[in-house]
Amino acid sequence: MKNQSFKRGLRAGIAAVATTALLLLSGGTAAQAAPAIPTEGSITFHKFEQPAQNGADNNGLVLPEGATDNWTALAGAEFTATKVPGIELSTNEGWLAAQDLTVDEAGKLVAGVSGSKSGLTDDKGLATITKLPIGLYFVDETTTPTGHIGAAPFLVAIPMTHPTELDKWITNVHVYPKNALVGSKTVEDKDAIKLGDEVVWTIKGAVQAPASGQSITGYAIADKLDGKLTYSAAEPAVASIKQDEDVIPLDVDTDYIVKHFPTTNTVAAVLTATGLTKLTSAKLANPTTQVQLVVPTTVNAIGTIKNEGLIFPNGESVDQFFGDDPTDPTDPTLPPCEENCYVTPGTDTKWGDINFTKVKGDKTATGLVGAEFQIYAVDPATPGATPLTLDVAGNSTDKFTSVAGGKVSIPGLRYSNWANGAEIADDHADFQPYWIVETKAPAGYELLAKPIKVKVNETVEVLDGAASGDLINVVNVKKNAGFTLPLTGSSGTLILTAGGILLLVVGGALAIRRKKNAA
C-alpha cells in the first residue's frame, strides 16, 4: 500500500464526529439513554471525476437524489482501508485521540499493519468494503483509473454519529473521493518551419483537492524532453495557475523554482511554500484549478518527437523525486517516473528531410552533378519571398547541390500536414507546403521551367510542377531540348557564304537579261 505524505491533518471532520460521539458514549441527556455503539460497519465509495463545481463537505450520508447526475462515474479505482492501531472508538479516550490525529500520522501508524480490506469500483463508480470492526480507518486509493490523479488519503470513523439525528449511529459511511484528470500536454509548432525554430510545449497538471482544513503539501510539474529538443536556460520555463481560461501568474524564485536535469533533458517547476499557499487557495475557490508549465524549446533533429508531462501532486511525491530540498535548483538527476507520479497524455511534433535525385531526361536516368536548388516556405513568386537558410553539417546555407549520383538533400523541415500536435488537411490554414527552385542547372542542361511544390511527410509528395506522386527524381533535359541550333562559324560559315555568293550571281544575271530585253 502506498502512503501519501500530508503535513496537515483531517482534524475538522473527525473532531466534529468525536464531539457528538462522546455525548452518545457518555449517555447524552438525562431524558434519553444513549444507543449502544455498533461493533462493525462499512464504507461505500462513490467514485467520480472531479466535477466543475465544488460541493458541500460530505457528512457520511448518501448525497441527495440528482446531486451527482452530471458527474462522471469512474470504474477501476481500488480503495484500501486499514484500521489505525491504538485508536479504540468504543471508549471516550479513543475518540479524543482520533480527533487529534493527522492523516500523515495515521499513515505512519498503519505502515506494515496487516488486515487491510479493499474494494474496487464498478462501472457506476461504486464499491463497498464491509464487515469493518469499530475503529478509525486510514483509507488510501491504491489503484487509480488510467489518466487520473488519485484522491488524497483520508480518515473514516466506523461508526459515525448521524449528522442530523444525533441520537443515532451511521454504520454504512458514504464517501465521495474524486479524481482529477492527470492533465494535458499541447504543442505549438505551426510557425516553426526549419530545425532551430522554436517549438513551445504546454503542460497542464491536475491538482488534488485538499480536504477541509488541509493544504496542498507539495507540487511539481515537469517536461521530460526528447533528445531531439534543446532547452535553454536563457529562455526558462514559466509556471502559473490555470483556472478555465484565466491564468494566475506565479513569481519565479518566489512561488516556484525552475530546475533543469541535463542527463535526462527534463525541465521542472517545483512550487515553494508561498506557491503552495496560492495553489491551495485557488483550488478551494475553483475546482478547475490546474498548474501550467510552458516550456520553450528548439528542434535539433528530424523525426516524430513525442513529449509527455510529469505531475508530482503532493508532498511525498515531491520529496521522493526532488530530494530533501525540493527547491534546490542544482540537483543533477531526476529518478524515473515509475511510482507515485503521474504522466499526462502526450503530443508530438513531426519533422523530415527532402531527398531526391537529379537525373538526365533520357532512358538512362543517370545522376547529374552540380545542379543547385533553393527551398521556399512560401510561393517564390510572392513579393519579398526569400529562400530558407538551413543547417547542413554545422554550416548555414540556402543552396543545396546535387552531388555524386545526382543526390540532393534538403534537411530538417516540419511536416506539411502536421501542426500543433494534430494532422491537418491540405486546405487547412496551417498546412505548410514547400517550393523547390532550381537556381543553377548542370552543365549542358536546361533549368527547370517552374518551381516544384511539395508536401513533406513520411515521404515527399509532389503537389505541382512535376509528375504527381512521391518525389524521387528531378529530371533535366539537355540544352534546347537536345536539338542542335544552327551554327554561324567554321564550316557553317563557308556554307552560308557560298550560298550568299550564288544568290548574288543569279540575281546579277537576271538583271542583265532584263536590260537586254528592254533594249
What the block records as the C-alpha cell of 388 is 530558407
- Angstrom distance (rounded) from CA 457 to CA 459: 5
pLDDT tens, residue by residue, 198-254: 999 999 999 988 866 788 999 999 999 999 999 998 999 999 999 988 999 999 999
Q: What tens digit of pLDDT does each residue of 122-151 get?
A: 999 999 999 999 999 999 999 998 888 888
Q: Do 293 and 337 fall within a single domain? A: yes
Residues 115 and 215 reside in one and the same domain: no
| Shared domain check, 187 and 153 | no
Q: Are 32 and 146 contained in the same domain?
A: yes
Looking at the structure, do residues 113 and 166 belong to the same domain, yes or no? yes
- Domain final residue pick, 327, 345, 363: 345
φ, ψ of residue 19 to 5 degrees: the values are: -60, -45
Question: Which of 419, 221, 194 shows the shortest CA–CA distance to 298?
Answer: 194
- Is the per-residue pLDDT at 494 higher than 70? no
Residues 329 and 191 in one domain: yes
Question: pLDDT tens, 422-446?
Answer: 999 999 999 999 999 999 999 889 9
CA distances from residue 292 to 269, 309, 339 in whole angstroms, order as listed: 10, 11, 22
Q: Rounded to 5, what percent of the chain is helix, strand, coil?
A: 15, 35, 45
Is 509 within a domain? Answer: yes
Name the residue range of residue 432's domain.
349-482
Q: How confident is the model at residue 514 (pLDDT cuts 50, 70, 90)?
A: low
Structure confidence at residue 355 (pLDDT)? 96
Q: What's the domain count of the chain?
A: 4
Best mean pLDDT range from 140-154, 452-466, 491-505: 452-466
Query: Same domain, yes or no, for 336 and 355?
Result: no
- The last residue of one of the domains, among 345, 380, 406, is 345
- pLDDT band at 361; cut points 50, 70, 90: confident
Please list, in sequence order, all residues whose beta carbon lies within 8 angstroms of the beta carbon of residue 142, skipping any fewer than 6 positions away.
Answer: 1, 2, 78, 79, 80, 118
The reply to whether 6 falls in a domain is: no
Grid cell listed for 213:
482544513
Domain stop point among 180, 209, 242: 180
> 256-304, pLDDT tens digit by residue?
999 998 888 999 999 999 999 999 999 999 988 999 999 999 999 999 9
List C-alpha distances in Å: 69 to 72, 124, 178, 371.
8, 12, 15, 69
Greatest mean pLDDT among 70-74, 123-127, 328-332, 462-466: 123-127
Q: Are residues 102 and 145 in the same domain?
A: yes
383 and 500 housed in the same domain: no
Going by C-beta distance under 8 Å and a sequence separation of 6 or more, which residues neighbour residue 485?
Answer: none
CATH number of the domain bearing residue 30:
2.60.40.10
CA distance 47 to 165: 26
Please give the model's pTM, rounded to 2 decimal places: 0.78
- 58 and 193 both lie in a single domain: no
Given the C-alpha cell 460521539, which residue does it identify?
A: 21
Burial class (CB in 10 A: 0-12, 13-18, 19+), 111: exposed
Query: Does residue 19 sit in the same domain as residue 137?
Result: yes
All residues at 6 or more sequence positions from 461 whose CB lies less than 8 Å from its CB, including other chains: 454, 455, 469, 470, 471
Asked whether residue 195 is domain-assigned, the answer is: yes
355, 471: one domain: yes
